[in-house]
Amino acid sequence: MMWAVVAALVGGTLLLAGVPKAGDHEGLLRVVRGYRLLPSGIERVVARMLPAAEIAVGALLVFGVAGRVAAAAAAVLFLGFFVGLTVNLARGRRELDCGCFAFGDRDAAPRIGWFHSVRAGGFAALSIALALTGPPEIGVLEQAAALALAALVLVAGLAVAQLRAVVHVGRRSVDEHLTQASAELRAVATVSRYGA
């Protein structure tokens, strides 16, 4: 059953990544170009094919169809993401949209970090392990339980990602920082007006 859970997690992740990309070809093309790794003609092909590949491979893994082949295809996808992220980070290029699950706003300042690269590498390693071991024979109930467990883990991961975007443990809020800066400016203004 563990193989089915891990396959459903990897497949679910690919589905979560592929579905938003399917509706925004121009956004994905902008992201692919941002990596500066492929010739122009290939960038367009990748931008057209990537969402369909992620969705197809993800669905195959989630439903346990073509186990080894789907896992090998997932490994190729995640290795490509890993290489693209790692090469750009090694070049010192952090200001780009990773295009992992959705695209940033054109006016926003997108940023990648080593977390993105390590995450892609981890999914590549899981996919390789799935491809090497192959799916065991399991019943319908075990497959359903594996899907339910994988869905629970994915929902928990999404919840943590959303909280991380809002809550910054150990950082002062902007309002607190601005209040402190405002008090300091008033103190300086008072001193300069009456003191020096």
- Cβ proximity of 101 and 16 under 8 Å: yes
**Alpha-carbon span 120 to 91, nearest angstrom:** 18
pLDDT in tens, 93-140: 888 888 887 665 555 567 888 988 999 999 999 999 999 998 777 777
Nearest to 96 by CA among 77, 109, 83, 80: 109
Nearest to 54 by CA among 98, 101, 95: 101
At 98 the pLDDT is 81
Higher pLDDT, 178 or 11: 11
Alpha helix ranges (H) inside the chain: 2-22, 25-35, 40-62, 67-90, 114-133, 140-166, 174-194
At 165 the pLDDT is 61
At 78 the pLDDT is 95
At 113 the pLDDT is 87
Which residues, at least 6 apart from 31, have a Cβ–Cβ distance to it below 8 Å? 96, 97, 98, 99, 103
pLDDT in tens, 82-93: 999 999 999 998
Give me the mean pLDDT over the 174-194 stretch. Answer: 68
**Alpha-carbon span 33 to 149, nearest angstrom:** 36
At 90 the pLDDT is 93
Q: What is the dihedral of CA 102, 153, 122, 143, to 10 degrees?
A: -110
Q: What is the pTM of this model?
A: 0.74
Query: Chain-wide mean pLDDT for the chain?
Result: 82
Give me the mean pLDDT over the 66-86 stretch. Answer: 93
pLDDT confidence bin for 55, thresholds 50/70/90: very high
At 167 the pLDDT is 63
**Diameter of the chain measured on Cα atoms:** 84
Nearest to 81 by CA among 135, 130, 14: 14
